[in-house]
Amino acid sequence: MAGNTKKTKGFSNNQRAGSSRRKVLVTMAGASLSAMATKGAEAQAGGLSPTQIANFDAAWQAFNNMASIPQDQSPLEWLLDADVRVFRVSDDNAWESGRDNVIAKFYGLLVNGKPGPIFDPRAFGLPDFSNPNMAKGNRNKGNGALWIDTDGSPNDILSYTFKFKGNLLGVLHAR
């Protein structure tokens, strides 16, 4: 066979190349399945489900990787509730609401191709998943989230409370 239809290990070059969107979806699906299998041990009676824990982890990782994922392919689209509300880190007042608006505002934090801000809720210990539909960390209890901003301010350790609506993140507080 000639050109880009040549078969290699059962796939044509076109199939092997795949789209960026498909690669992101396959990566997210694989990460979610793998995470659900390992997150079961972190799930506590009466607390978050393994699926919610996997979605929590996938969401903060998608946020941290925004600089390498186009906005229209962001996994946040499938991890945030349509009516998600996000509150400002500085004063805990409303910052943005609605999935599309939140994602656009998150991507607005990126500065000329530089890495975006980093939020790592596992940097200092395991998040508290013991409450139904809620993941939280407290800087005073040693399991706060590492926050690295793009504005040149010093790194910080934040307390946070993320609430779920079903398996999707619905309310995000960090301070």
Q: What is the pLDDT of residues 65-124, one digit of tens each?
A: 999 999 999 999 999 999 999 999 889 999 999 999 999 999 999 987 688 899 999 999
Q: What is the pLDDT of residue 90?
A: 86
Residue 4 falls within a domain, yes or no? no
Q: How many CB atoms lie within 10 A of CB 154?
A: 7
Q: What is the pLDDT of residues 138-167, one digit of tens each?
A: 999 999 999 998 888 899 999 999 999 999
Domain CATH number, residue 151: 3.10.450.50
Residue 99 falls within a domain, yes or no? yes
Q: What is the pLDDT of residue 29?
A: 52
Residue 65 falls within a domain, yes or no? yes
Residue 14 falls within a domain, yes or no? yes
Q: What is the pLDDT of residue 57?
A: 97
Q: Give the length of the chain.
A: 175
Q: What is the pLDDT of residue 115?
A: 84
Residue owning tokens 């910080």:
156
How far the first Cα of the chain sits from its last, in Å, is 60
Residue 20 falls within a domain, yes or no? yes
pTM, two decimals, is 0.75
Q: What is the pLDDT of residue 111?
A: 83
Residue 1 confidence class, pLDDT cut points 50, 70, 90? very low
Number of domains in the chain: 1
Task: Name the residue range of residue 69's domain.
Answer: 10-174
Q: How many CB atoms lie within 10 A of CB 83?
A: 13
Q: What is the pLDDT of residue 151?
A: 81
**Tokens linked to 46:** 């009466």
Residue 2 falls within a domain, yes or no? no
Q: What is the pLDDT of residues 9-68, one digit of tens each?
A: 444 444 444 444 444 444 555 554 444 444 455 555 579 999 999 999 999 999 999 999
Residue 16 falls within a domain, yes or no? yes
Angle, helices 20-39 vs 50-64, to 10°: value is 140
Q: What is the pLDDT of residue 16?
A: 40
Q: What is the pLDDT of residue 153?
A: 86
